[in-house]
Amino acid sequence: MKKLLFVFGLLISCSPSPVDINENNTDDPIIGAEDHTGSHGNAIAPADGVIAASDCQQIDIGDKACNFRLLDQNGEVWDLYEHLGDVIVLDFSAVWCPPCQAAGYYSQTLQDDYAEDGVQIVTILIDGASHGGEPTTDEIATWADGHNITTAPVLQGSRDKMLDVTAIEGYALSGFPTYIYIGRDMKFYAGHVGFSEEYIRQTIAGAL
């Protein structure tokens, strides 16, 4: 099985996590690249992050994604499994990360271009302005406003809610921004660390 994430050509680094992921270096110019228990519908707090279950994990291409629930920039709960049938692009970013800030300006453009194809661009902020600190509601709103994001969710994540070194009860990330792609069947089909608009568009097109 192919592992979920691949690390591409190194430019600017934001590397907060303790987990390494497999490397497949290419010449693609990507910004920022670098070297519980429950199931959907269970009575849990509405925005507690990843909901681990026996039929899902975040390890290999082809795995079914575990559901998660987080608050968006409007203070509403965003539920992954409510978007079954969409192509979902998860952008894991941090407020303190300059490459993430640069990549954020493309989120709404990508959303606008692919909305009619049933594609959802989703930013999950794992850290706020402080390294390792959970983003505040003000930081989530500021990110959305500052990057002119209107219809693409910006979610209030955290390391506790979204990360797991085993990639079973969360995601094992080695850098920001990390992009993970979920197909219409709620299964992972691609992932990479770092931003390239061209590469993202090619990867989205592969699922349409």
Residue 196 maps to a domain: yes
Residue 163 maps to a domain: yes
CATH number assigned to the domain comprising residue 167: 3.40.30.10
Give every strand in the sheet of 49-51, ordered side by side.
49-51, 67-71, 77-79
Q: What's the structural domain count of the chain?
A: 1
Say if residue 130 is exposed, middle or buried (CB neighbours under 10 Å; 0-12, 13-18, 19+).
exposed
The string of pLDDT tens digits covering residues 80-90 is 999 999 999 99
133 torsion bin: left (phi>0), alpha (psi -120 to 50), beta (else):
beta
Residue 46 maps to a domain: no
Mean pLDDT of the region 161-179? 92
Residue 194 maps to a domain: yes
Residue 33 maps to a domain: no
Residue 43 maps to a domain: no
Domain of 199 in residue numbering reads as 6-23+55-205
The answer, yes or no, to whether residue 76 has pLDDT greater than 60, is yes
pLDDT of the residue at 32: 53
Mean pLDDT of the region 141-155? 97
Residue 31 maps to a domain: no
The string of pLDDT tens digits covering residues 109-122 is 999 999 999 999 99
What is the share, in percent, of the chain residues with pLDDT greater than 90?
A: 73
pLDDT of the residue at 71: 95
